[in-house]
Amino acid sequence: MSDHAVIAGIGTALPEGCLTADDFASLATRLCARIPREEALIRTVIRQSGVDKRHSVLVQHNADGRIHAPLFEDREKDTPRSPTTGERMQAYAKHAPPLAKEASIKALDNAGLEARDITHVVIVSCTGFYSPGLDFELINALGLRNNVSRRIVGFMGCHGALNGLQEAASICALQPDANVLLCSVELCTLHFQLEVGRNALLPNSLFADGAAALVVNNGQHDEKLLLVDCASHYIPGTTDLMTWDITNTGFRMTLDSSVPDVIRTSLLSPVEEFLLRNRLQRSDIANWLIHPGGPRVIDACGNALGLTSDQLEPSREMLRTHGNMSSCTVLHLLAGTTNHPSLVIAFGPGLVAEFALLVESAFNKLSEA
């Protein structure tokens, strides 16, 4: 058995609906813009978002050549409509389970395990809730044991998968024979807001949908990825800078324009302290897996940590090709990563930074006595 929790398998999934930046701009202006100035503003914000393509459960490619979002369009009146939170949650309950199943099957296959081997399920999501929920959906869809233990990590924002990973590791520390299935599903585009203001435009321009799953256990060291350490750092005085509120028309995010500057001035010290307690320096990290919260957030992390453009490119590429899928985004980053050690960094409401250190079993610095 390993002294550390092991990531034994990983899988990802995306909705079929796909939008280029031009597609999304056309849809957003049709839904939100009332005057030419608003259309120009929407297109500018989308162009500056750094997102060239995203996936969404909302969209349909119709025979008329246009992309439609039926949840947000009154087709009889040919006008936009803002669905209620209840309607958005009904859409979540419809679209989330297939993505959770797909990602979980891939993770099990990658780990070489069967569904009956899973002892615990950890669900991570901040974009939808219902009960019985995704944990029960996976029990039934995958044929998990009737006595599988369940956990929900909810509403923690873009760093939620790291909180879920820490929960999985804690389970493995208590139960050496555990096989934990962690599944993160985020349908951010369900919370599209029909407003032309910064608190709506910025989230609308960045967010996307996706899912990812991990199998975590105490497996053998050989050729495995070990979770060495996790940490959390709340930046004092930032409680109102990033919020995620439930309203009558979906979940609304606010992101203060000062967030990148706060990250730039506050990130270095906690990262160096975290690395130091693991006998590492910044130069030891092969991969910086920074959650792509937006172009300015990525740049701020790079400036704070002295990272090169090449070191930031995985995060920028993820933003370009997938958008910000909230908590599952860092797991998509991890799925495409080799040559560890890796430091995963993600941010959430609070303002809180979460860290996870992942190394290959053969990494010498952490295997020394």
Q: Residues 43-93: pLDDT tens digits?
A: 999 999 999 999 999 998 877 777 889 999 987 677 899 999 999 999 999
Could you tell me if residue 272 is inside a domain? yes
Contact (CB, 8 A) for 69 and 83: no
Residue 1 pLDDT > 50, yes or no?
A: no
Q: How confident is the model at residue 369 (pLDDT cuts 50, 70, 90)?
A: very low
Strand locations in the chain (E): 5-13, 18-20, 53-55, 60-61, 67-68, 73-74, 79-80, 120-125, 149-154, 179-187, 209-217, 225-234, 242-247, 250-255, 287-290, 342-348, 352-360
Could you tell me if residue 173 is inside a domain? no
Say how many residues make up the chain. 369
Over the chain, what is the mean pLDDT? Answer: 94
pLDDT tens digits along 222-233: 557 999 999 999
pLDDT tens digits along 127-148: 999 999 999 999 999 999 999 9
Could you tell me if residue 158 is inside a domain? no
Could you tell me if residue 88 is inside a domain? no
pLDDT-wise least confident of 173-182, 239-248, 345-354, 357-366: 357-366
Q: Around Cβ 46, how many Cβ atoms within 10 Å?
A: 21
- pLDDT attached to residue 62: 78
Residue 290 structural domain: 225-361
- pLDDT attached to residue 223: 59
Could you tell me if residue 250 is inside a domain? yes
Q: What CATH number corresponds to the domain at position 306?
A: 3.40.47.10
- pLDDT attached to residue 280: 97
Could you tell me if residue 266 is inside a domain? yes
Q: How confident is the model at residue 306 (pLDDT cuts 50, 70, 90)?
A: very high
Could you tell me if residue 247 is inside a domain? yes
Could you tell me if residue 349 is inside a domain? yes
Domain count, the chain: 1
